[in-house]
Chain A
Amino acid sequence: MANRGTAQRPNGSTQGKICQFKLVLLGESAVGKSSLVLRFVKGQFHEYQESTIGAAFLTQTVCLDDTTVKFEIWDTAGQERYHSLAPMYYRGAQAAIVVYDITNQDTFVRAQTWVKELQRQASPSIVIALAGNKADLSNKRVVEFDEAQTYADENGLLFMETSAKTAMNVNDIFLAIAKKLPKNEQSGSASTSGQGRRLVETEGQKAATGNCCK
């Protein structure tokens, strides 16, 4: 608890509006979903990264002109492994990153299935980005950039090749998503994504711990 909120504080001047978005990560096991998040949120990379870290989600903010975009980033917690991701995972998600590994053709094929799954389960207005991760391993590349780019264009997806290891395009892909998200009043002030209410400790108790919702 000592290093609470090191990287994710927006730098002091918060004169603009703050928008909060739920972003979900999808993709096969071991394509680097968690590594991308950890690179983005904590600026760290470990070759032997734990896939999930006992966290429901992590948060990180991105500043765009006068708007602060706060991402609530949900990782699959391994539930994708046996095709058992719960529908609640997609609820209220305004953005998704579908990740594949450029050194593994199968993960690219599966990424396309995940995109279909999003189109079926998630909100129709969800912003989807495709990330070809492990771009640092280009000597082992099997998925061509152009192939993925064509697929992304045909399906209206943002696309970048990323490397959680070298940090290449990691911030950029989140930034691109932030730019594409609608930053209207509703998304701006809401502490919730699906217009419902979240439960928090009642006022007295809240001060000590409460932070899931303001």
Chain B
Amino acid sequence: MEDYLPNEYDVVVVGTGMTESIVAAAASRIGKKVLHLDSDEYYGGLWATFNFDGLQKWIEDLKVSKSSAKDVSEVDLELEEKFLKTSNEYSTVENIEETWYISNDADLPVVSSKDTQTDSTGDGSGSGDEKSDDDKVEKKENVKQWSIDRIRKEYRKFNIDLAPKLLFARGELVELLISSNIARYAEFRAVSRVATFMDGKLTQVPCSRADVFANKTVSVVEKRMLMQLLTSCMEQGADSPEFDGFRDKTFLEYLNTKNLTPIVQHYVVQAIAMATEKTSCRDGVNRTKHFLNSLGRYGNTPFLWPMYGSGELPQCFCRLCAVFGGVYCLKRQLDGVVIHKNKCKAIISGKQRISLEHLVLGQGHLPPEVVASEGEQRISRGIFITDKSIMQGEKENLTLLYYPPEQPDQEPVTLIELGPSTNACPQGLFMVHMTCKRTTNAKEDLAYVVNKFLKAEPLDPLAIRSSIHSHTQTVSPDKRHIQEGDQDNREESTEESPKPQVLWSLYLNLPASDIKLNESTPSNLHLCSGPDLELDFDFAVNQAKSIFESMYPDKDFLPRAPDPEEIVLEGEEAPGPKFEGDTEAEEKQDVEKAEKED
């Protein structure tokens, strides 16, 4: 039996994706009465982050088609009202392919101390670790190999993103989190390195001025060249006369006139602007500027990653919405919308008719009648649990890699590699996310990058044992650093390091993020798009802002919420008229409270 909800609101938001959640928070913050629903039992929709168990359940649920909305005939309509059934067809996830590359516990041979002896010789890269291995023999005997069972058992230590996104340190979302005081709800880690593939191997891109000057692969002349170029992008921007001749040319064409050396050009195009041959000069300059602008605020690179995954961020906005009185109800289906004279008047959910001033819909809840174009920007995703970093370093890294297409029919791929300190995975493992624009299906689109950086073949149990000794999942954290450091030095001298072994992978295609509504759409119905292709959240923030502005043009967008110390209790002299157990009254008072703060 569904819960009975109060049935009159200023704003009803359906779907708890990023854009929806920001709009919900913004409306609640200015004192509007908000109802926020989601048909799923988790927050985030296609922006969600799951633990391993939750992800398995999500995959299972996709196989079972969701019960379709109720029949129109069941809905009581008043005169001149029209009922539009909503559909989940615009949030369809396709081509799901999950693969294990490891075995179950029962199929694995027992590891004993004897194996330690034989294996260290069998593994070409293991020699540097022997000393510490000997110290640790006793420990190793207790260490289990990674098996399907073990990953399932440690499901809670995984946080797996459907739509992983970074934040530019001075991007729209960081500024919004800070200015609204929602930043208090979340924690972040700085991306510790931006990598690029150059001369047949991965290298770290020097991001800061200090990095640039400390870099040994770039000559002094090149450093000056680079700084000069970056300065002109940064200080003058795309409108400066510097770029006048390149209004309709590509970024690459502009750079070609600057006599940059190949290395410098590579850094600028592939790592800083993350541009392709087709990127316009204007876009290239703006992207370069965006990157440079965000440097030096937090950490080594311009990027931040939310702890526990991107799916935390919609929840932060939802909490703010709730703190200011928004009502939350998950696992609650939207059946359809009631239209009257080109206005959206109410929604039908379960047995209830809920009236509203504004309806904000995630793209998974649109009535097909209002959709003009289903969009083209579809996304291919690959998620991989691996046994080591694509580029091992002295410490755990959070890595961003932009990999440009090798062939004309390929799309550039963004790769984000997360380690245990982000809570993406347990100690000893890494989580690799790949994202690109869809051309065929996720597996085919990403294959060229997967093959380049990962070993995605079934692992035979003998190989597991040898790899355990060369890698780091088995030793205590304090020794790990030393060991990884050793490996790093060794690899620098021997160039080729073995690729990370994939233990598990998931491919999927997310729906288009550029659905367009037609002109007959009621003006108080607002569409929130699903995750887009861009690296950051700017698209969602800007969409939320423009939706809010169209709803409440004269109101502030998410003004700063008070700190705990600033909370003044009301009603000390005159107690409020309502008893604390009265749930509807609570909401009302919250709203009043919010208004007082404005």
Residues of A within 8 A of B (CB): 1-5, 8, 29-30, 32, 34-35, 38, 42, 44, 46-59, 72, 77-79, 81-84, 86-89, 91-92, 192-202, 209, 211-213
Contacts and interface: CB of A to CB of B under 8 A. Distances in A.
Contact of A87 (B178, B315, B331, B560): B315
A45 to B, nearest CB: 11
A77 B322 contact: yes
A49 B578 CA distance: 8
Contacts of B331: 83
A46 B575 contact: yes
B583 interface: yes
B566 A199 contact: no
B111 interface: no
B189 interface: yes
B563 interface: yes
A163 to B, nearest CB: 14
Nearest to B4: A82
A5 B562 CA distance: 13
Nearest to A101: B581
Interface of B: 3, 5, 43, 174, 177-178, 181, 183-190, 297-298, 304, 307-308, 312, 315-316, 318-320, 322-325, 327-332, 421-423, 560-572, 575-581, 583, 586-587, 589-590, 593-594, 597
A53 B569 contact: yes
A84 B330 contact: yes
Given A8-B565, A88-B185, A197-B190, A54 B329 contact: no
A50 B570 contact: yes
Contacts of B593: 50, 53-54
B567 A35 contact: no
A56 B571 contact: no
A53 B567 contact: yes
30 contacts: A1-B562, A2-B568, A29-B583, A50-B570, A50-B593, A51-B589, A52-B322, A52-B323, A54-B323, A54-B567, A54-B597, A56-B181, A78-B587, A79-B318, A79-B322, A79-B328, A81-B583, A82-B328, A82-B329, A87-B315, A89-B319, A92-B187, A194-B307, A197-B190, A198-B183, A199-B188, A200-B178, A201-B178, A202-B297, A212-B184
Nearest to A8: B565
A55 B587 CA distance: 14
Query: What are the 3 tightest A-B residue pairs by CB atom distance, in nearest-first order?
Result: A196-B187, A30-B581, A77-B322
A200 B5 CA distance: 37
A194 B181 CA distance: 19
Contacts of B177: 199
A50 B586 contact: yes
A80 B566 CA distance: 25
Contacts of A201: 178
Contacts of A58: 564, 567
Contacts of B178: 199-201
Contacts of A44: 569, 572
B164 to A, nearest CB: 16
Q: Which of A72, A79, A89 has the most CB of B within 10 A?
A: A79
B421 to A, nearest CB: 7
B562 A55 contact: yes
B316 A88 contact: yes
Contact of A81 (B43, B328, B566, B597): B328
A46 to B, nearest CB: 6
A56 B308 contact: no
A48 B577 contact: yes
Contacts of B589: 50-51
Contacts of B320: 56
A3 B568 contact: yes
Q: Which of B178, B332, B561, B594 has the most CB of A within 10 A?
A: B178
Contact of A78 (B188, B308, B327, B563): B327
B323 A56 contact: yes
Nearest to A213: B184
Contacts of A198: 183-184, 186-188
Q: Which of B184, B318, B572 has the most CB of A within 10 A?
A: B184
A30 B422 CA distance: 36
A84 B307 contact: no
A34 to B, nearest CB: 8
A56 B322 contact: no
A24 to B, nearest CB: 12
B187 A1 contact: no
Nearest to B595: A54
Contact of B183 (A4, A46, A194, A199): A199
Nearest to B173: A199
B577 A82 contact: no
Contact of B566 (A4, A79, A195): A4
A72 B316 CA distance: 16
A52 B325 contact: yes
B454 to A, nearest CB: 27
Nearest to A31: B581
A78 B328 contact: yes
Given A91-B312, A197-B188, A56 B319 contact: yes
Given A48-B580, A199-B177, A200-B178, A83 B315 contact: no
A79 to B, nearest CB: 5
Given A35-B580, A196-B187, A197-B188, A50 B590 contact: yes
A21 to B, nearest CB: 14
Nearest to B5: A82
Given A77-B322, A81-B327, A88-B319, A194 B580 contact: no
A192 B187 contact: yes
A57 to B, nearest CB: 6
Contacts of A91: 187, 307-308, 312
Contacts of A59: 564-565
Nearest to A120: B156
B580 A51 contact: yes
A194 B420 CA distance: 12
Contacts of B319: 56, 77, 79, 86, 88-89
Q: Which of A50, A77, A91, A195 has the most CB of B within 10 A?
A: A50
B567 A55 contact: yes
A49 B572 CA distance: 10
Contacts of B330: 82-84
A87 B48 CA distance: 11
Contacts of A86: 43, 315, 318-319
Contacts of A8: 565
A35 B586 CA distance: 13
Nearest to B159: A87
A87 B298 contact: no
B332 to A, nearest CB: 8
